[in-house]
Each structure stands twice: as C-alpha cells, then as structure tokens.
Structure 1
Amino acid sequence: MAKGSNEVESKHLQRFHYTLDQAIEKPFNWKQMWRLLVYLKPYSKNYLPAAVIAMLISTAVRLIVPILIGKVAIDVAIADKDITMLTYLVIGIGVLYLLSYVGNVYRIKWVNILGQNVIYDIRQHLFSHIQRLSHRFFDSRSAGSILVRIMNDINSLQELFTNGIINLLMDVVTLVGIIVILFVLSPKLALAIMVILPLMFYLTTKLRRMIRRSWQSVRIQQSRMNSHLNEGLQGMRITQSFSQEAENGEYFHGVNTDNFNSWKDATKKSAMFRPFVEMSNAIGTIILIAYGSYLILVGVENGGIEIGDFVTFAFFIGMFWDPISRLGQMYNQMLMAMAASERIFEFLDERPNVKEQEGAHEFIDMIGDIEFDKVEFSYDQERIALHEISIHIQAGQTIALVGHTGSGKSTIANLISRFYDPAKGTVKIDGYDLKQVTLASLRSKISVVLQDTFIFSGTIMENIRFGNPNATNEEVIQAAKVVGADEFIQRLANGYETEVEERGNILSAGERQLLSFARALLANPSILILDEATASIDTETEVKIQEALGRLLKGRTAIIIAHRLSTIREADTIFVLEQGRVLESGSHEELMAKREEYFSLVKSQFQMLDAM
C-alpha cells in the first residue's frame, strides 16, 4: 500500500484502540441488562411462566431422586430387605423421570418460542428506530456498521434469551436446593466440601475482567470487518477498475487477522473457567471420600452419617459443580450480551436531530410557496454551507439552482425536505415554519429525484409504486408513459413484472433515472426537487425527459439543481450560488444579459462542448 494509506490506517487503528479502551473500562451495567429483560414483558403471562413451571418440575425431580435412592432405597428398603418397597420405589422413580422428561420437552419448546419472539421484537424495534433518525446519524456511520448492529449484535443475544435466562434460574434453584439438602443431611460434611468455594469464587472473579475485555474486543473487531466488507463489495467495480484487488486483499487480511486473533483470545480466556470448576469438583470429591468415610465409621450415634447419606452426598456433589460450571458459561453469555447490548442501545438512545413538535401542523393540501429567511446552515463547525440565504419561491414556479460543487445547492434541497434544520433563520412552506410541521405530511407532498437513484429489489411495477403504494396498475403504467419509461419497460422480458436485481443493476443509468421520474410523478407531489436528475441520461433520453418535464412540473413548485445548464433554460428564476451565498438571480435571458457569473458558467460549458 502507499505511504499515505499506511498513515491513514495507522490513525484509524489509534482511534480504534482508544475506542476499545473506553468501552472496556466501563463497569458491568446491570441497569442496561434490565433494559434487555424488559423485552420479556409481553410474554410474562404466557410463555415465560409456562417455561418456569416446566423448569421447576424437572429441577424438583432431580433433587428428589437422590434422596429417594440414598435415604429410602439404601437406608430403609435395602437395609430391611423390603423387596416390595424397593419395587414401588423403582416404579416411582421411573414415573418421576418421565415427568421430568415431559417438563424438559415443554421447557425447551416454550423457551425457544420466547427467545425467538424477543429477538424479533428487538430487531424490529432497532430497525424502526433507525428509520426515524435524521440524516446526520447516517452521515457519520457506514452502512456496514449499522448492519452489524441489526444483524450480528442482536444475534449475539439469541443464546441469552433462548436458553440463558431459564437455565440461570434452573441452576440457581438447583444450587440452592442442593446446599439446603446437604446441610440438612450433615452440616459438618457439607461445610467441609464447600470450603473450596471461596477460593473458586476468588479465581473466577479475577477472570471476569479479562473475559469481558476480550468479548468487547470481538464485537468491535467484527464491526470493523463487516464495515470493510460492505464497503469493499459496494466499491468492487472501482477496485477492479483501478486494479487494486491485491491492496484491498492485503487490507482485508489485516482486518480478518485482527478479528481471528480477538476470537482466539476470547475463547482461550473463556475456556479457563471450566478447568477451575473441574479442579474444585475433584477437591470436593476427595473431601467427600475422606471425611465422609470417617463419619460413616464414627457412626450416627457419635455425630456421623449413614451409608445412604454418603450416597446422597455423592449424587449431589456430582450435580453440584455442573450448575456452577454452567453459571460460569452463563456469565460469558452475559458478557457477550452486554458487549452487544451496549452497541444496540447506543443506537436506540440516539435521538433525531430533526424533531417533531407536539401539536405540529399537518399539511392536508400544500400550495407550494417556499421561503428561506436569512437561513444559515453548516454540516460541521469547520465550514458553513449557507450564509444567511433569503429566497422566495412562489407556488407553481420552476426555479433552478446553479453553481460550482459545494456552493450549497443540494443543501437548500435538503432543508426544504427538512432532512436537516437550519442553524439560524427559518424555512417556510405556505407560511408555516417547517419546525412546526409534521414530517410525514411535509415529505408526503415532496418528491425528490436524485442523480444516483435507488432501485429496490423487486419488479418494475413495485419500484414505481414505491412513490404511492395505493396506486393501481393502470396509474403506474400511465406515470411511466408520461415520463417516457413505458417504451423500454415494454421491451423487457416480463414488462412491468420484470424482476430487477439489487440497486437495479440490470438497468442502465438512464433507465433507472426514468423509473425514478415515474415514481416521483406517481406520488403526485406539490413540490418536486430534481437534484442533478438528468446528469446520467444521454442526449436522446434527455430530449424525452424535457418533453415530459412540461407535464411533470405543471401546477407544481419545482426546484431543479443542474450542472448541465441546457436543462434549465425554461426555469422562471435561476439562482446562482457560490460558497453558500446567492450571487445573482433572474431568468436565463436576464442573467445572460448581465454577463456576470451565470454568463461565465454558460460560456465555459459551451467551450467545453466545442472542444470535445
């Protein structure tokens, strides 16, 4: 890679590690975990209690059976050689295990239904929330990083909700039950066996910070890799055009290696928990054999235990360490869930910069009179995009915005649609300040056609109908005919039912643009914004568009942004912008007569055409 690329990568890694360190130092947020558990509330009256009851049944069976074997079968039935009691006991234990089997079947069924519903709700909530966020949110984040939150991070919560919560309750109930039973049977032996618990607790506590750091690193590295993948796939044509496959592969190798190493580190640290549990189990078993045997030899009359108590202890010791091990795994799940939930709630806590006031005006019929009153706006603090712009566009007028790149043309269009709010001044439509208007009613009366039009996966018919979901097939076809799109659509294999691929790649740039014109017309807007809308259309198609524009713009307020000045000759007023200021305005003839900035733009454009 070039030196400049290496410097950029180095700075990116510095920012990445700084962000990672910040995330790692955060304490475990139980309040945030509670926010996750709130998603269980809609199911707290059906699936959740049913799963808990099924869990309690199977857990109760696991606790009862060892007591029956040790205290009843060995100390009573076998000691008294009571075959009848032993027979009934075997049948009874078999029935209990059958009951436990049924309980486990329904627990697994209801827990999975519960978990899948919760994951569905979280993903739906996050996506719906993101759709309502302002453009500034998307300006500072890549599509790949947003995709990671909606897919990967929410998937990381799946194990927590499908198994983790109920298993946590089951293991806690099992542990408490075992501890109570052991102390009832023999407090001395129970205390001797559990002497290892403080050491185990200390060692596992030391592991928590390391494990949490490693799983947070995994989430951040995954986000970085997914962002690069999304960018690499979208820019594949540019990569191949400049023969940068090797450099792109080298960069991805680095990202992929970082992701691999983070997973390896996290799994290695997480795997350390199990050996500690097994070591504790081994020590507990040795204590049981040594001290338990001594208590049997001492005899019950001298404070010892019976053989049945020893066997029951052996059963419960085998059961005791498994829940502790699973609780350790559960803690790892919670750490992963916490790392993912931090990133999910970061987006859910985002609030739109463009806010809708309570009791805002709702446009029923929009006339289309637009006024900018000393509007100032900037995308960042370093550069002001508009300097106290004052423009009045009368209803039904067609105005054009021209100027060099970065002069503020698209910014004006963005403010009319209220994708952003001005820093100073007001933008009004029909006399209403846009800050006091509902966003839905405003944008439903405005159609925007961009240079890089977006075509969705689906049919031609569905893509045009996106402008008005309630339109009939006949209305869709009529809109396509008006803008001249019907001709090429009829040539397609399945006409209006032709399936277009992602972003409409089977269509040419001009054809995609014609579809966007049809979509805009079908929406029947009061205000139409054409932002470099004819830039990707060839000369022959442009002639058709110019013919259609007369019908498209009739009775509507239109704002045309164009570099190709031949497309705006018929505009009622042309505003010439430069660095966020209006230099001059007037009709094409008036501005040409002034022989100032507009005249220079037209002259330079024609000179370029003559030179070609």
Structure 2
Amino acid sequence: MSDRQQRRGRGGRVVEKPKDFRKSFKELASYMMRYKFRLLIMVACAILGTIFTIVGPKILGQATTELFNGLVRKVQEKGGINFDKITMILARVMILYAVSALFSFIQGIVMAGIANDVGYNLRKDISTKINRMPLKYFESRPYGEVLSRITNDVDTLQQGINQSITQLITSVTTIIGVIIMMLSINGWMTLAALCILPISIVIVAFVMHHSQRYFRDQQRYLGDVNGQVEEVFAGQNVIKAYNQEEDVLQVFKEANDSLYESAWKSQFFSGMMMPMMQFIGNVGYVVIAILGGFLVIQNAIEVGDIQSFFQYIRNFTQPIQQIAQILNMLQSSTAASERVFEFLHEEEEPQTVENPTNPTNLDGQVTFDHVRFGYDPNQIVIHDFSANVLNGQKIAIVGPTGAGKTTLVKLLMRFYDVNSGSISIDGHDIRTFDRNGLRSLLGMVLQDTWLFHGTIMENIRYGRLDATDEEVIAAAKAAHADEFIMQQPDGYQTVLDEESSNISQGQKQLLTIARAILADHKILILDEATSSVDTRTEGLIQKAMDHLMEGRTSFVIAHRLSTIKDADTILVINDGDIVEQGNHEELLKKNGFYAKLYNSQFEQVA
C-alpha cells in the first residue's frame, strides 16, 4: 500500500477536527444575506400562504356545524338544511385556498431562484478562489476531493436550501397559527394537543444528536471516494501495468464501506423519525376524539369545532414531522457548507503588493542571492544558491533527480517564496511584483503537458488570447507542429478530448511549445521541454528554440545533456547547491560531477 493510502488510513478515513455546526449554519445564513430582499418576499409569501390555509379548517367547521344543525332542525321538524349558507361558506374557503396557492406559487419561484443563485455564486466563488490558491494546496490534496466540494457539496447545499428554508418557515408559521386557532376553539382541547409537543421535541433532539456527525461523515467520505475514483481513472494504465487492480479495489472497497456505513446510519436516524412522530400524532387523535365528544355533550363546543380541531391536530403534528425532516436536511446541507466554506477560507496566495514594480521595459537579468528554501522548513531542499544570469543568456540547469532543479523554477515563478535570500529581475526583488505582472515576464514549457478540451487553435492561442489565426499558425510552424496538425481530420479546428488522448505525448509537447512561442515572453523556462519527443523532432524543436531564445534570458532544465551543449552557462546542482558552473567544454575539462553525468549518458555496454 502506498504512503498516500497509509496516510488516509483504513477505509479512506481522513483525520479531521470536529466541525462546528452552529458556526457553519451562521456562516451560511450570513452568505445568504446578499439575497435579503428576495428572502423577505419569500418569507412574506410563505407566511401569508400559510395563514390563509390555517383559517380554512375553522370556516369549514362552520359548514359542518350548519349541516349538523340543519339535520337536527329537520328531525325536530323546525326547518331544514340551509344550503345557501353552506355554499357561501364553501365559496369563502375556496377563495382562501386559491389565494394561499397563489402565495405559495410565488414563494416557490422566488426560493428556487435564490437556491440556484446560491449554487451559481458558490461555484463562481470557488472558481475564483482556485485561481488565488497557492500551488502547495493542490500538491497536498487529491484533485477529486477538491472537485467534490465544487460538485457534490454545492449540489447538496443548493438542494437543501431550496427544500428546507420555505418548509421551515411554513412549518413554524403553521404551528404558531394552529395553536392560536385551536385556542380560539377550546383551551382544554388545545392543552391536551400540546402535550405531544415535549415528546416530539425529545425525539427530534435525540435524532439530531446522533445523526449530525453521520451526515458530516457522509459528505467527507463522499469527497474521499471521489478523489480515489479520479486517481484510479487517470492512472488505469499504470494500475494495469503493475497488476494492482486487486489492491486498488481493496482500498476503494474500504473507502466505499465507510461511506456506506455513514450514509446508512444517517438515513436510518432520518427514516425512524417519521414513524415515531406519526405514532405520537395518532395517540393525540384518540385523546382529542374522547375529549371533544365529552365537550359536545356538555354543549361547550359545536360539532363542527371537533372536525376543525381534528384538521388542526393534523396540521399541528405534520409540521412537527416536517421540521424533524428539515433539521436532518439542514444537517446534511450544513455539513456540505462546512466543506465549501472551509475551502473558501483557505489561505490565499497574495496577488498584489503595495507600489508594485512595473514589469514593462525590463531586460531580463535574473539574480539568485543566497536562496534557501524547503517545502517543509525543517527539510531544506535548496541550501545556499547564488547565480547571476545576464540578459539574453541561455542558462542550463542540470543535476540528478531531486537535486532542486524544478524547485528553482517554482521559486522564480513565485509558486513558492524563498525562506531566505532573494531572487531579483533587473535588480527588483520578485516579491515586489504583482504575481500576474511577474508571470507576464515568464514563459514556461513543462515536462508535464497541459491541454484543455477545445480545438488545437484554441489551445495554442491560450498563450496569448488576442493572437490572430495567422500568428497562431506561425507559432505552430516555428515549433514544427504545423505538419502533424494539418494531418489531423480538421486541422487546426480538431477538437482535443479531456485527456488529449487523440494525439501523442510528443505532439502535446509540440503544442505547448507553440503556445510558449506565441506568448513571446522576456524570460523563458524550459523544464524538460523535449523529453517526450523523438530524436528527429527534438532536433527540429531545438532549432526553433534556439531561434526563440535569441535575445531572451532562458533557463533550460534538461536530463539529456546533449541538448544543452551550446548553453552560455551550465549550472550543475546537487543537493540544492551549485557544485560546478561553466560552459560545456569547461566542465568536461574539469572532469568533475558534470563530466560524470555527461559520460554516463553515452556509455555503451561492452
């Protein structure tokens, strides 16, 4: 099992501190205050729609009383049923219910709009946040876990808001309104009905206490499962090549079992609430039926009042059940919001500085002055690195794997900041630049290519979005990519899929080089830029690169030492320090570390 899997522990568990439900709920409520005007409209419509519904049963009770009295009068031969009066009563009820439905329709539309806007803006905020996050955040977490916050957690939050807020308002309004209406009928019957309230509260509190952590675990494990699925999907070739299918399945099974366990428990507690509440409600019906019959015999209430009271009891117990379900839904939504806002509150990479250095009109002289850096301050990677690179020089950085070559590039791009020392461009510390301004000076071609779902033309134009089609084609020709592009079914309009699997790795590299040529930056960084192409293509690219690097400061990281023979200066790095420097011929004459590296690449097995 890998170190990464061991850190996760059994079942994909990630050790996290307990979450603060109240704090997360307050934060979600604060976020929604940006929609306070529409929320007020929704609340008003929900309350008015509920009030009109609550009044209906009492008026219907009048119709029942009139019907009962009419039958009594008919039996006593003192008259009959007044159907006109009953019709008028029923018409009033119909109008009330129609108005109530109208208000409910309005509040439903408004709430749906708010929920969709919350989901839309959260995704936009997360997307904006991603662009301000330091690289170390993404290098320390699986991509799938981050993606889960954008997809699953935001969806859960959006659905919870849409379904729970209006139900919570209408349920609370219904409970208050029903109590008032029941008191207007009879105090003793109301007191009997209210006896079920403390029992209901105890049940709700019990379920919430036990289910809250399971809902939170469910969201966390779902993110972890998504992370594993993303990794496995991206690494299928490696998994099959090393026959690790069984191990991967076992790790996934453990994570999936944890998700199943937390989901089952959360749904179990959620599902047991409704039957328990219904049982208590039925007991209430029996008590009210006995008490109501006794009061009718005593002429304390009318027959229609019993019918109205039964409806109010149903309207009283139902919102209590709904609140119980809503609270469970709110727990799930709040657990999702915890993860979303946790991401939104992560430490950002400062984008601007006071009085930033203007990146224009700079020559491109780069100075490393006693640079010291470690990803972990206790584990230093670069100990004491100093170098002065003049404008237009081609600097090659070579050394064994793990020597700190790519780390230097990350420091120059300010993906990380040095622990001590400084890096300067034309005498200006790079920390005095805005990050966007600094990176506008630097063009970069990495060993790991990155292309997005879109046409070849769009992928090359990513280097400079205002470039014309002619400029894009010229850059592709300079990178010797035009020939293979024109062999594609739709030429420059050929669409690359998500993984760019419809072109080879070498062709991907050619496109990224074309992108860098189009960008036309002052300083070039080539990190193993030709590592994925064949020898012939490498020669062509090298010529294009030589032309591109004319007049520009260039840093070339290479394992193939034959590609950097013409470098002005070669910096040989080992364990984060420069052990040798000079041009190719000088370093070979020294017969030192560089010479051993160079000769080892051309040794032939006897």
TM-score bucket (shorter structure) = over 0.9
Task: Name 2:480's counterpart in structure 1.
Answer: 484
| Structure showing greater relative contact order (alpha-carbon pairs closer than 8 Å, 6 or more residues apart) | 2
Structure 1 distance, partners of 2:600, 2:5, is: 40
Distance 1:330 1:287, change over 3 A: same
Q: Could you tell me whether the CA contact under 8 Å between 1:460 and 1:499 is conserved in 2?
A: yes
How far apart, in 2, do the equivalents of 1:467 and 1:503 lie?
19
Q: Which amino acid aligns with 1:79?
A: N
C-alpha separation in 1, matches of 2:596 and 2:278: 83
Residues 492-545 of structure 1, C-alpha deviations (whole Å, 9 max, x = no match): 111100011123111111111110011011111111100011111110001101
Following TM superposition, by how much is the alpha carbon of 1:217 offset from its aligned partner in structure 2, in angstroms? 1.9
- The answer to whether the 8 Å contact 1:353/1:420 transfers is no
**Equivalent position of 1:69 in the other structure:** 60
- The two structures have a TM-score, normalised by structure 1, of 0.93
SS of residue in 1 equivalent to 2:385: strand
SS across alignment from 2:356: coil
Q: CA deviation at 1:15?
A: 9.7
Residue 434 (str. 1) matches residue 434 (str. 2): no
Equivalence for 1:202: 202
Q: Using the TM superposition, give the Cα deviation of residue 38 of structure 1 relative to its aligned residue in structure 2, in angstroms.
A: 3.2
Task: Give 1:8 deviation, angstroms.
Answer: 7.7
Q: Deviations over 1:290-342 (max 9, x none)?
A: 22222222223xxxx22232222111001111111111111011111121111
Moved more, 158-167 or 143-152: 158-167
Residue 135 in structure 1 maps to residue 135 in structure 2: yes
User: 1:30-75 CA deviation, whole Å, 9 max, x = no partner?
Assistant: x322322333334333x434433432332122111111112x3244
Name the structure 2 match of 1:371. Answer: 367
Q: CA deviation at 1:77?
A: 7.2
Shift in alpha-carbon separation, 1:137–1:319, aligned structure 2, 3 A: same
User: Do the aligned residues in 2 keep the contact of 1:401 with 1:574 (CA within 8 Å)?
Assistant: yes
Deviation track 1:82-117 (CA, whole Å, cap 9, x = no partner) reads 332222222222222222233333332222122111
Give the whole-Å Cα distance in 2 for the aligned partners of 1:572 and 1:468: 29
SS, match of residue 503 in structure 2 = coil
* 1:361 is aligned to 2:357: yes
2:178 aligned with 1:178, yes or no?
yes
Match of 1:338 among 334, 337, 357: 334
1:79 corresponds in structure 2 to 69
Q: Paired residue for 2:450?
A: 454
Distance in structure 1 (CA, Å) of the matches to 2:264 and 2:376: 40
Q: SS at 2:521's partner residue? A: coil
Amino acid at match of 1:151: T
Shift of 1:16: 6.0
Following the alignment from structure 2 to structure 1, what is the Cα–Cα distance between the partners of residues 90 and 495? 66
Which residue number corresponds to residue 271 of structure 1?
Answer: 271
Alignment of 1:514-593 (within 5 A): 514-593=510-589
> 3-state DSSP class of the match of 1:387?
strand
Q: Structure 1 131/15 Cα, relative in aligned 2: closer, same or farther at 3 Å?
A: farther
1:158 aligned onto 2:158: yes
- The separation in 2 between residues aligned to 1:13 and 1:168, in whole angstroms, is 39
Alpha-carbon separation, structure 1, partners of 2:14 and 2:516: 45
Distance apart, 1:393 and its partner CA:
1.0
Q: CA RMSD in A?
A: 2.0
Question: Counterparts of 2:341 and 2:118 in 1: how far apart (Å)?
Answer: 15
Partner SS for 1:484: coil
Alignment of 1:407-422 (within 5 A): 407-422=403-418
Give, in angstroms, the shift of residue 262 of structure 1: 2.2
What's the counterpart of residue 102 of structure 2? 102
**Residue 49 (structure 2) aligns with:** 58
Pairwise CA distance, 1:430 = 1.9
Alignment CA distance shift 1:17-1:532 (3 Å): closer
Give the stretch that moved more between structures: 160-169 or 540-549: 160-169
Aligned residue in 1 for 2:78: none
Q: Distance in 2 between matches of 1:13 and 1:596?
A: 46
How do 1:216-295 residues align onto structure 2 when only pairs under 5 Å count?
Answer: 216-295=216-295
Does the residue aligned with 2:386 lie in a helix, a strand or coil?
strand
Q: Distance in 2 between matches of 1:52 and 1:358?
A: 45
Q: How do 1:115-130 residues align onto structure 2 when only pairs under 5 Å count?
A: 115-130=115-130
CA distance in 2, matches of 1:101, 1:201: 30
> Are 1:400 and 1:573, in contact at CA under 8 Å, matched by a contact in 2?
yes
Q: Shift in Å at residue 17 of structure 1?
A: 5.3
Q: Distance in 1 between matches of 2:358 and 2:192?
A: 74
SS at match of 2:353: coil
CA distance in structure 1 between the partners assigned to 2:477 and 2:565 by the alignment: 24
Paired with 1:323 and 1:180, the residues of 2 have a C-alpha distance of 15
Task: Give 1:32's aligned residue.
Answer: 24
Greater CA drift, 397-406 or 278-287: 278-287
Contact 1:371 1:393 in 2 (8 A): yes
Whether the aligned pair in 1 keeps the contact of 2:161 and 2:333 (CA below 8 Å) is: no
* Structure 2 CA distance for partners of 1:503 and 1:444, relative to 1, 3 Å: farther
After the TM superposition, which segments of 4 or more aligned residues of structure 1 sit over 6 Å from their partners?
none
Q: Partners of 1:536 and 1:144 in 2: how far apart?
A: 27
- Whole-Å Cα distance in 2 between the matches of residues 79 and 364 of structure 1? 94
Paired residues of 1:119 and 1:155 also in contact (CA < 8 A) = yes
Give the match for residue 472 of structure 1: 468
- Answer yes or no: is the 8 Å Cα contact 1:354–1:419 preserved in 2: no
Question: Distance in 1 between the 2:284 and 2:84 partners?
Answer: 36
Secondary structure, aligned partner of 1:40: helix
Q: Kindly indicate whether the alpha-carbon contact (under 8 Å) linking 1:354 and 1:418 is maintained by their aligned counterparts in 2.
A: no
Amino-acid identity (%): 34
Aligned equivalent of 1:510? 506
d(CA) in 2 for partners of 1:476, 1:261: 54
Structure 2 counterpart of 1:392:
388
Match of 1:315 among 311, 317, 332: 311
Provide the residue aligned with 2:76 in structure 1: none
- Any conservation in 1 of the 2:394–2:567 contact (CA below 8 Å)? yes
How far off its partner does 1:129 sit?
A: 0.4
C-alpha contact (below 8 Å) 1:39/1:122 kept by paired residues: no
How far did residue 14 of structure 1 move? 5.9
1:327 to 323, 326, 336: 323
Q: Take 2:559 and 2:465, find their aligned partners in 1: how far apart are those partners? A: 32
Shift, 1:178, TM fit: 0.7
- Distance in 1, matches of 2:6 and 2:166, equals 45
- What one-letter code is carried by the residue in structure 2 that aligns with 1:538? D
Task: Say whether residues 1:599 and 2:595 are aligned partners.
Answer: yes
**In structure 1, distance between residues paired with 2:544 and 2:498:** 27
Equivalent-residue separation in structure 2 for 1:187 and 1:38 (angstroms): 40
Q: Do 1:375 and 1:388's aligned partners in 2 also have CA atoms closer than 8 Å?
A: yes
Deviation string, structure 1 residues 352-405 (Cα, Å, up to 9, x no partner): 255643333342333211111111000124521111211111121110100001
Tell me the matched-pair count: 596
Shift of 1:273: 1.1
Whole-angstrom distance in 2 between the partners of 1:545 and 1:371? 28
CA distance in 2, matches of 1:586, 1:8: 40
Q: State how far apart, in whole Å, the 1-side matches of 2:34 and 2:41 are.
A: 14
